[in-house]
Structure 1
Amino acid sequence: METKHETNLAETLARELKSPIEIASNTAAALRRVALPPGWTLEEQDDSMKLPAPLRKTATVRLRDADSFIDYVKRHGSLTDSTVWCLADYVQGKIAFTAIINDQGEDPGAAAWRDHRAYFAPEFSEEWRRWNGKNKQPMSQADFAAFIEDNLKDIASPDSAGLPSGAAMLEMALSFEATQDMRFKSAIRLSNGGVNLSFVQDDDAQTLQKMSVFERFAIGIPVFWNGDPYQVDARLRYRVRDGKLHFWFELVRTDKILEAATSTVITTIREKTGNPFFFGDPFAN
Structure 2
Amino acid sequence: MPDTKEAAALDAHGIELIKALTVEAAEPSILLVATDGLSQGLPVNVPVAFDRKSQAFKSVKALIDEFRQAPDRRKGTATVETLASFIALIERHKDENSAIFGKTSYPDPKLTAVIDYDKEGVAARNRSHRIVYAFPLTEEFKSWVAGNAKPMEQEVFAAFLEEHAAELAAPTDGEVSEYERLFKEKMATPSEVVALSRHLEVFVAARAKQGIRLQTGERVVEFAEEHQNAKGESIVVPGVFMVSVPAFVDGDAVRLPARLRYRVTGSKVVWFYQLYRWEFFLREQVGHDLRHASNETGLPAFEGSPEA
Q: TM-score, normalized by length of structure 2?
A: 0.73
Is contact 2:81-2:249 (8 Å) kept?
Answer: no
* Corresponding residue number in structure 1 for 2:162: 149
Q: Offset of 1:145 from its aligned partner?
A: 0.2
Distance of aligned partners of 1:199 and 1:123 in 2 relative to their CA distance in 1, 3 Å threshold: same
Give the counterpart letter for 2:84 in structure 1. Answer: D
Q: Secondary structure at the match of 1:94?
A: coil
Alignment partner of 1:87 out of 103, 109, 114: 103
Q: Greater helix percent: which structure? A: 2
Q: In the alignment, what sits opposite 1:104?
A: 118
Q: Tell me the percent identity.
A: 27
Q: Which residue in 1 is equivalent to 2:182?
A: none
In the alignment, is residue 186 of structure 1 matched against residue 210 of structure 2? Answer: yes
Following TM superposition, by how much is the alpha carbon of 1:182 offset from its aligned partner in structure 2, in angstroms? 2.4
Q: Does structure 2 retain, via aligned residues, the 8 Å contact 1:87–1:281?
A: yes
Closer, same or farther: CA 25–159 of 1 in aligned 2, 3 Å: closer
Say if 2:190 and 2:241, in contact at 8 Å, map to a contact too: no
Q: Structure 1 pair 36/255, CA: closer, same or farther in 2 (3 Å)?
A: farther
1:267 Cα deviation from its structure 2 partner? 2.0
Q: 2:219 aligns with which of 183, 195, 219?
A: 195
CA distance in 1, matches of 2:236, 2:152: 18
Q: For residues 67-116 of structure 1, what are the alpha-carbon distances to aligned partners after superposition, in whole Å with 9 as ceiling and x for unaligned?
A: 2222222222201x312111121xx34311111111222225x1211111
Instruction: Spell out the pairing of 1:108-119 with structure 2 (5 A cutoff).
Output: 110-119=123-132
Question: Secondary structure at 1:197's aligned position in 2?
Answer: strand
Structure 2: 5+ residue stretches without partners:
1-20, 40-45, 177-185
Change (3 A) 1:167 1:71: closer
More deviation in 221-230 or 15-24? 15-24
1:265 offset after TM fit, Å?
Answer: 1.1
Specify whether residues 73 and 231 from structure 1 end up closer, same or farther in structure 2 by C-alpha distance, changes over 3 A only: closer
Distance 1:14 1:184 in 2: 103
Distance, in Å, in 1 between the alignment partners of 2:203 and 2:66 is 72
Q: Secondary structure at the match of 1:266?
A: helix
Q: Structure 1 residues 197 and 37 mapped into 2: Cα distance closer, same or farther (>3 Å)?
A: same
Contact 1:69 1:118 in 2 (8 A): yes
* 1: CA distance, partners of 2:154 / 2:66: 64
Tell me whether 1:17 sits opposite 2:31 in the alignment.
Answer: no
- After TM superposition, give the deviation of residue 241 of structure 1 in Å: 3.6
Asked if the contact 1:93–1:258 (Cα under 8 Å) also holds between the matched residues in 2, the reply is no
Gaps of 5+ in 1: 1-12
Count of aligned pairs between the two proteins: 262
* 1:140 equivalent in structure 2: 153
1:211-250 maps to which residues of 2 (within 5 A)?
Answer: 211-250=235-274
The answer to whether the 8 A contact 1:15-1:37 is kept is: no
Structure 2: distance between partners of 1:47 and 1:16: 22
CA–CA distance in structure 1, aligned partners of residues 207 and 22 of structure 2: 96
2:260 alignment partner AA? L
The answer to which structure has the higher strand fraction is 1
2:304 is the counterpart of 1:280: yes
Report the CA distance between 1:255 and its aligned residue.
2.4
**Correspondence for 1:77:** 94
Residue in 1 aligned with 2:74?
Answer: 57
Query: Is residue 2:285 matched to residue 1:261?
Result: yes
CA deviation after TM superposition for structure 1 residue 46, in Å: 4.7
One-letter amino acid of the structure 2 residue matched with residue 256 of structure 1: F
State the TM-score, normalizing by the size of structure 1. Answer: 0.79
Question: Which residue identity is paired with 2:120?
Answer: E
Q: What is the CA–CA distance in structure 1 between the aligned matches of 2:283 and 2:243, rounded to whole Å?
A: 17
Deviation readout 1:237-256 (Å, 9 max, x if unpaired) = 11234531111100111123
CA contact (8 A) 1:14 1:20 kept: no
Query: Could you say if the C-alpha distance between residues 200 and 21 of structure 1 is closer, same or farther in structure 2, counting changes exceeding 3 Å?
Result: same
